[in-house]
Amino acid sequence: MDREKRNHLIRLFVAIAAVYGLVLVLELTMRPTHMLFTVLKKGAIYSLVAVSMNLLNGFTGLFSLGQAGFMLVGAYTYAIFTMPVEVKASERVYKYYDCIVGFDTGVFVGLLAAGLAAALFAFLIGLPVLRLKSDYLAIATLGFAEIIRAVFQWDVLGPLTNGANLLREFKDLSRITFPFTDIPVPQTFFVFVVCGICILLIVLLINSSFGRAFKAIRDDETAAEAMGINLFMHKELSFVISSFFAGVSGALLAMFQYTVQAQQFRSMLTYEILLIVVIGGIGSISGSCIASFLYIALSEWWLRGLDMGTFLGIHAEHIFRSGFRRLAFSVIIMLIVLFFSRGIMGDKELSWARTSARLRRIFRKKEAV
Amino acid sequence: MKKKTFLLAMVLLSCAMVFAGGSGESDSTVVKIGVFEPASGDNGAGGKQETLGIQYANALTPTVAVGDKEYTVELVLADNESSNDRAASAAATLINAGASVVLGSYGSGVSIAGSDTFRVAGVPVIGITCTNPQVTEGNSHYFRICYLDPFQGTVLANYAYNTLGARKVYCLAKLGDDYSGGLVNYFVEQFTALGGEVVSETFPEGNSDFTSYIANAKNGGCEVFFSPVSTEAAQLIINQSASQGLGMPILAGDTWDSNVILQAALGKDVDITVTTFYPEGADPEFDASFKEWVNADSTRLSNNGGDDTISAVTAMGYDAYYFALQAIQNAGSTDPADIMEALWTTEIDGVTGHIALDQVNGDAIRNTVYVKHANTETGGWDALPAVVVD
Amino acid sequence: MADFFHQNLSYFLSGISVGGQYALIAIGYTMVYGILRLINFAHGDVFMCAGLMMVYLSASLPFAVSIPLVIVLTILLGFLIERVAYRPLRSAPRMSVMISAIGVSYLLQNAALYFTGGLAKVYPEIGFLARSVDIWGSTTRMVTIVTPFVTIALVFLLTFLIKHTKIGMAMRAVSRDFETSQLMGIKINRVISITFIIGSLLAAVASLLYFTNYASVTPTSGSMPGLKAFVAAVFGGIGSIPGAVIGAFIIGICENIIKGGASIFGIPGSGWTTFSDAFTFAFLIVVLVVKPTGLFGEKSVDKV
C-alpha cells in the first residue's frame, strides 16, 4: 500500500471516529427528546436505504423502484421475530388473530433475519423481472412492491402478520439493552453503528471485483457481456444485496418508529428515497448520506415552523398553516432537480483533498472581492 | 460555479436553521399543552373540529393556577396527517416543543402509533375520541375521556338487531384502520351472539369506488349497511349509495357525527343513524356561545366544515382541555410526570357529562351512548333516545 | 349466462365506466411515453388538479362557463409543466427527467394539500351526468352509461388526428425516431407541446366523468387512477393508443369483479378485496414477463 493511500485511509478513519464520538457525547449530554436525535436516527436509516438503492441504480444501472417493498419485508420480519412470546400470546397486539409464531429472538438475529427475508424475496422476484430493461424493470419492481404490501395486509395471513393492523411492542429502540445487562443502549449511537457497518460493507463490495463488474454492466451491458461478465448473475447479485440492506433499514425504521404497519410502505416512500439518491448524486455514496441527513432535517425539523405559524421569527398564521412545509419543501426539491440535476456530489465521493481545495478557492475569491 | 453557490447556500441554510429550529426554551410561567390532531388526510375534518373545541376552551380559560402561581396555557399544534407513519414524528415535535401534557388524537390508529413516542418521553396523553381499546391498554401514560369500542359496538349491534330488526348486516371497514376495523370486530361479535349474520369486507387505502361494495350488500340480501369509516370515505359511500339505490339503513359510529355527513346526505335518499358522545342541544349555553365564537371568524368557520353545527368531537375537545387543566391544577406542577400521576384521580363535570377515569387503563367511566339520525331535508341531526347501559 | 350478467350487471357497469375513465388518462401516458420515453408521473396529479379546479370554479360560475374553463386551464397546466419541468432537461439523462416528473407530482399534491387545507372537497353535481337511471334492474348514474361512449368517440377522433393530419404524421415520426425527425425539419418542441395539450385535455374530460361518479377530490385522488391508467398503458403496449384503451377497460372490469368476488362467485371469505389494487400489478407483471412490450407494443431493437 503506498503512503498516499494509507494516509488517506487514516484520515478517513479518524474523521469517522470523530463523528461517532461526537454522536455518543451529544447523546449522553443532551436532552434525549431533542429533535436533533430524531433527525440523526432517521437520517442514518435513510442513508442506509439510499445507499442500497444507489448500489442498484447508480452502480449497476438497474432502475428499480421496489425499495419500499423490501423495507416492508424487513420491518415485518424484524417485528415478528423480536416480539416477545408473551406479547404474541396476549391480546395486546394480535387482537383479532392468534399469533402462530412461537418464538422470539434478539436484536441481531432479528436484523439479520430482516435482511435475509428481504433478500429471499428479492431473489425470487429478480428471477423474472431482471430480464426486463430500464423503464419496464422500474414498473415491474414498483408493481411487486405493491403486491408485497397487499400480501402482508391479507387477513388470511393475519396469524403471522396481524393482518393490516399495527405491529408494536417488539424490540424497538427504547427496549434494547446491552447483552446480559439492563443498561439501555444509546439509541442514536446504535443506529449509527448498524448503518455504518452496513454502508461499509456496501463500499467494500463496490470496490471489489464484483463492484467493477457492476459498473461495467452500468456503462455498457453488451460490452460487459462480451468481456465475459455473467449479466444475469451479477444483476441478481446486486439486486439481492441491495434488498438485503433495504430489509435491514426497514427493520431499523420499525425500531425507530416503535410501530410498523404495511400501509406506510407505499410507492411514495420509494420516490422519496429516489429523490434523496438523485439529490445526493447518482453514483456517490457520501452524496446519498449527506442528502439523507439534509432531507430528513429539512422535512422533520428545520421547516416544521412553516406548519406551525412561526418560521425564522416571522409570525404569519394564515400563510404558515398546515401543509405549507410540504409545499415549500417540494418547491426546493423541484429547484434542485431542475438546476442541480447532478446532485450535491455528482458521482464523486467526499474527500478531504477536494473539500479543502474547494474551500481554498472560495476563500481566495472572497478575498479578491 | 453553480455547485459552489449551491453548497454555500446549503451550509448557510443549515447554520441558520439549527438556530431557528431549536426548541424554544419555555418561559417560566407558560405551560404548554400539545394538540396531537390530524389537520389533513382522511380524518382532517374531524381533527379540525376536535381542535376547535380545544381552542375555544383555551380562548375562554387561557390560564391555570399551579400552586400559587398563574400560568398561561399555550397550545402547541402538530398535524399527524391522519397517517400512522407520520404520528411518531408529530409526537416528537410536540415533545421537542416542551409540551407538559398532550391531547388527542382523533382516530385510534394514529394514537396507537404515536403512543410509544410519548411513553419513552414520559409525557402523558389524554385521548379525546379515540375509541379503540388498544390505545390505553397495557400502558400508564395514555388516558382517555370517551367510551370504548366494545361498548359502542355492542350498542350498535343491539340497535341493528332490536330496533332496526335486521338479521343480516353488511360491514365495511378500511383495511389497516384500527378504528373501523376494531369497531366492526366488536359489532360482529355482539351481532352474531344475538343470532344475526354478517358479511364483512374491507376496502384498501385510496379507494374511491364503493359501487361494488354497495352492490355486494344489495346482492347479499343484507338489511343494514354498517360502515364506521372516516368522513372522507363516508361522503363517497353516501353519495354512491344514493345513486346506486342502496335501499337499506346505514349505521355508523362516532366519526359520522359530523356536518360533513349532513352536507353529503342533504336532499338524498339515504337513511343514516349514528352513535355519538354529545347531542347538540344538551347544553344550550355551551352551544350558543360556541356558535357565536365560530361565526366570529372565517377560518374557524371553515375549520368547522363551513357551518356552525356542533360536532360531538368539538364538545369532547372542549372537555378534554378542562380535564387537562384540572389535572395540572391537581398536580400543582407543570412537570409531565406529576401530571401523569395526577390524571388518575382527576374528575370534572364537562358538557358531555361527568368524567372520571377507571384505575386499570385510565379509560373514562361512561355509560351513555347518544343516537342521532340524519335529517336529509333540513340538513340537521334528529336526536333519537339515548342508550344507557349499566 | 344472461342470468349471471343480469345479476352482476352493476359490477360490469362500474367496471366499464371506470375503465373508460382510466382509458382517457392512459392515453396521456402512452402518447407522452411514445414520444419522450418519459413516464409522466405527474399526469395523474394533473387529473386531480382538474377536479379541484372544477370544485372551486363551479362554486361561482355556471357549468356552461366553468366546464370549458376547467378544460382550458388543465391544458394550460399540462403545457406549463412540460415547458418548465421537462423541456430544460431535454438533453439530460432520462433518469433526471423522470425524477423531475416525480418532483412535479409531489409539488402538485402538496400544493393541493395546502390550498384545500387537507380536506376532501365535494365535487359539484353536473345535472345531466349525475342523474340516476335504471338499466335492466340496476340503478346507476348517467355518467356510467355515457363514459364508454365518450371515451370511444374521443379515441376515434384522436386516431383520425394521428393518422390523417400533418401534426399527427409529425407525432408518429417523432415517436419513431426523435433525432432523424428533427433533422427532417419537424419542430420537435411544438410536437411535444401538442402531445401534452392533448393528454391534458383528455385528463380534464376524464376528471369530469370520474369525479361525477366518485364525488370527492383529495390531494391524492389522482395517484391511484394515475398509476392504474399507467399500468393500462404498459399493458396495452406503451405508445399504442388502442392498446391503452383496451388495457384500461380490462383493468377497470377486473378490479370490480375482484371487489365483488365474494358475491359474484359465491366464494366465502372476503380477503380478496385486499388485492383489488395489487391485482392490477400482478396482471402487469405477468404480461411484462410473457410479452415485455405489451399487447400491441412495437418490438424494440437493441442497437449496439
**pLDDT above 50 for A310:** yes
Q: What's the ipTM?
A: 0.86
The DSSP code sequence of B55-96 is HHHHHH--EEEETTEEEEEEEEEEE-TT-HHHHHHHHHHHHH
pLDDT of residue B97: 87
Which of the pair, B310 or C1, is modelled with greater confidence?
B310
- Predicted confidence (pLDDT) per residue in A328-342, tens digit: 888 988 888 888 877
Q: Is the pLDDT of residue B237 over 90?
A: yes
Confidence (pLDDT) at A342: 77
Check pLDDT > 80 for residue B253.
yes
Interval A68-83 mean pLDDT: 94
pLDDT digits (tens, 9 = 90+) for B30-39: 899 999 999 8
Instruction: Identify whether A267 is preceded by a cis peptide bond (ω within 30 of 0).
Output: no
Q: Which CATH number characterizes residue B160's domain?
A: 3.40.50.2300
Q: Which of residues 247-286 of B touch C (CB under 8 A)?
A: 263-264
Mean pLDDT, rounded, for A43-54? 94
Of C132, C256, C260, the CB nearest to B243: C132
Question: How much is the pLDDT for B22?
Answer: 44
Q: What is the pLDDT of residue A244?
A: 96
Residue B292 lies in a domain: yes
- How much is the pTM? 0.89
Q: Which of A128, A136, A334 sits opposite C103 (nearest CB)?
A: A334
In a domain, C33, yes or no: no
For an interface test with B, give the residue of A165, A256, A312, A320 to mutate (most B CBs within 10 A).
A165
pLDDT given at position A305: 73
* Domain carrying residue C287: 222-299
What percent of chain A stands above pLDDT 90?
36
User: Do both B139 and B159 map to the same domain?
Assistant: no
- Give the lowest-confidence range in A248-262, B288-302, C65-79, C232-246: C232-246
- The reply to whether B89 falls in a domain is yes
Say yes or no: B342 and B235 in one domain.
no
Residues in chain B: 390
Residues in B closer than 8 angstroms to A313, CB to CB, are: 20
| Extents of the domains making up chain A | 1-30, 37-267
Selection from B140, B48, B36 nearest residue B93 by Cα: B36
Is-contact A302 A286, C-beta < 8 A?
no
The predicted model gives A188-195 an average pLDDT of 92
Same domain, B221 and B316: no
Contact residues, B window 119-138, toward A, CB-based 8 Å cutoff:
119-121, 134, 137-138
What is the pLDDT at residue A273?
92
Residue C278 domain flag? yes
**Which residue stretches of chain C have pLDDT < 50?**
303
**Reduced to 3 states, what is the DSSP secondary structure of residue B141?**
coil
Is the domain of B159 the same as that of B55? no
Q: Does the residue B250 lie in any domain?
A: yes
CB–CB contact A147 C114 (8 Å): no
Q: Residue A126 has what pLDDT?
A: 93
Which range of residues forms the domain containing residue B112? 30-147+284-357
Instruction: Kindly state the cell numbers that stand for C30.
Output: 402512452
Q: Does residue C8 sit within a domain?
A: no
pLDDT, one tens digit per residue, over A78-96 is: 999 999 988 888 887 887 8
> According to the model, what pLDDT value does residue A303 have?
79
pLDDT band at B89 (very low <50, low <70, confident <90, very high): confident
**Number of domains chain B contains:** 2
pLDDT of B24 reads 45
pLDDT of A339 reads: 85
Subunit contact B185:A358, Cβ cutoff 8 A = no
* Same domain (yes/no): B261, B333: no
B127, B197: one domain = no
- C206, part of any domain: no
The confidence score (pLDDT) of residue A97 equals 83
For residue A352, is pLDDT > 90? Answer: no
- Number of neighbouring beta carbons within 10 Å of residue B388: 9
pLDDT, tens digit, for every residue of B180-221?
988 999 999 999 999 999 988 888 887 888 888 898 888 888
Specify if C96 maps to a domain: no
Rama region for B353: left / alpha / beta (φ>0; ψ in -120 to 50; rest): left
pLDDT beyond 80 at A368 = no
Tell me, yes or no, whether B247 and B291 share the same domain.
no
Lowest mean pLDDT among A149-153, A179-183, A225-229, B99-103: A179-183
Residue C247 lies in a domain: yes
Give the closest-approach CA distance of A328 to chain C in angstroms.
Answer: 9
Can you tell me the distance from the alpha carbon of B179 to that of B268, in angstroms, rounded to the nearest whole number? 27
Same domain, residue pair B377 and B347? no
Same domain, B237 and B380: yes
> Is C271 part of a structural domain of the chain?
yes
Report whether pLDDT(B119) > 70: yes
User: Are B157 and B196 contained in the same domain?
Assistant: yes
Residue C178 is predicted with a pLDDT of 81
B228 and B318 share a domain?
no
Q: Please check whether residue C267 lies inside any domain of the structure.
A: yes
Examine the domain organization and report whether B81 and B182 are in the same domain. Answer: no
Domain count, chain C: 1
Could you tell me which chain C residue has the CA closest to the CA of A135?
C39
C303: distance to nearest CA of chain B, Å?
A: 35
- Is residue B20 situated within a structural domain? no
Would residue B206 count as lying in a domain?
Answer: yes
Residues of C in contact with A274 (CB under 8 A): 99, 102
Query: What radius of gyration do chain B's Cα atoms show?
Result: 22
The pLDDT value recorded for residue A48 is 95
At A210, the amino acid letter reads F
The answer to whether residue B365 is domain-embedded is no
User: How far is the alpha carbon of B340 from chain C, nearest alpha carbon, in Å?
Assistant: 33
Residue B19 pLDDT:
47
